[in-house]
Amino acid sequence: MQSSRPVQAIIFDLDNCLVPGDAIGRTAYEPAFEAIRQANNGTLSDAELAAAFADMWRHSVDDVARRHRFTANMLEAGWQVFARMEARAPMQGYPDLGALAELPVPRFLVTTGFRRLQESKIAALGLRERFREIRIDVVDEPGRKGKQQLFHEIQQAHQYMSPQVLVVGDNADAEIRAGNNLGMTTVQILRPGVPFGSNAVHHVHGLHELQGFLA
């Protein structure tokens, strides 16, 4: 597990990495789901819609819409609701969230989603003081950069060497792929329900295991 070179920084994902994707509450997304149902007009079956909604707890809305062949009206209907959504009560992260403080290297948080929703979740979790920087890959504003560009900006701003940056997240097609493309050391965290991604350099089941990379 140990790295051959000292780790200079760790970039974390948020949803399904530090906090369950549904920690906001399973009913929170229902207004958006209902808007999509109303715009469906028979395009997808009930079973197909259910599968798409299940994916929204792990993937961005635009990605789900593409994978499940939403019409433009379906995506727009859901989009408008998600853009206004926010976490209104304290949220709980995974039980090992306290292990972040035990990692004596600069920590960064990069999360994808709607600005209002992601910022409110970060506030509800009390995470701001645990990271040197927090950046949101905002889907509902012009000029979206994507995680790979945000990772690259962090690396360049702090002059980190790519192999000495750990990228820790759950999504093999998002942060793990982005980290690999930049030559960073990717670590997939296999939270309950997260499918194994063969493209990650390493795999862990919890934050405490990251200490092994810093030894």
Domain residues of the chain, as ranges? Answer: 9-21+91-214, 30-84
The pLDDT confidence band at residue 3, using thresholds 50, 70 and 90, is very low
Question: Which DSSP category does 68 fall into?
Answer: T
- Which pLDDT score is estimated for 215? 73
* Nearest residue to 17 (alpha-carbon basis) of 78, 99, 89, 140: 99
Cα–Cα distance measured from residue 169 to residue 184, given in angstroms and rounded to the nearest whole number = 13
Instruction: Tell whether the model's pLDDT for residue 140 goes beyond 70.
Output: yes
Give the pLDDT of residue 89.
Answer: 87
pLDDT in tens, 101-115: 999 999 999 999 999
3-state secondary structure at position 79: helix
Confidence of residue 184 (pLDDT cuts 50, 70, 90): very high
Evaluate whether 110 touches 147 at the Cβ level (below 8 Å): yes
Sheet hosting strand 202-204, strand order edge to edge: 133-138, 107-113, 9-12, 165-169, 185-189, 202-204
Confidence of residue 2 (pLDDT cuts 50, 70, 90): very low
Helices (H), 68-114: 72-84
Strands (E), 133-194: 133-138, 165-169, 185-189
Residue 174 predicted with pLDDT over 50: yes
Closest CA to 117 of 82, 90, 151, 89: 82
Give me the percent of the chain exceeding a pLDDT of 90. Answer: 94
* Candidates 3.40.50.1000, 3.40.190.10, 3.40.50.970, 3.30.470.10; CATH matching 9-21+91-214: 3.40.50.1000
Q: Strands 133-138 and 9-12: what pairing?
A: unpaired
What is the rounded average pLDDT of the residues 143-171? 97
Indicate whether 1 pLDDT > 50: no
Token pair 């635009």 is at which residue?
A: 62
pLDDT tens-digit series, residues 27-79: 999 999 999 999 999 999 999 999 999 999 988 899 999 999 999 999 999 99
At 26, the pLDDT band (50, 70, 90 cuts) reads confident
**Considering just the CA atoms, what is the radius of gyration of the chain in Å?**
17
Nearest to 192 by CA among 205, 174, 202, 203: 205
Question: pLDDT grade, residue 96 (50/70/90)?
Answer: very high
Per cent of the chain over pLDDT 70 is 98
pLDDT at 4: 59
The token pair at 181 is 């493309």
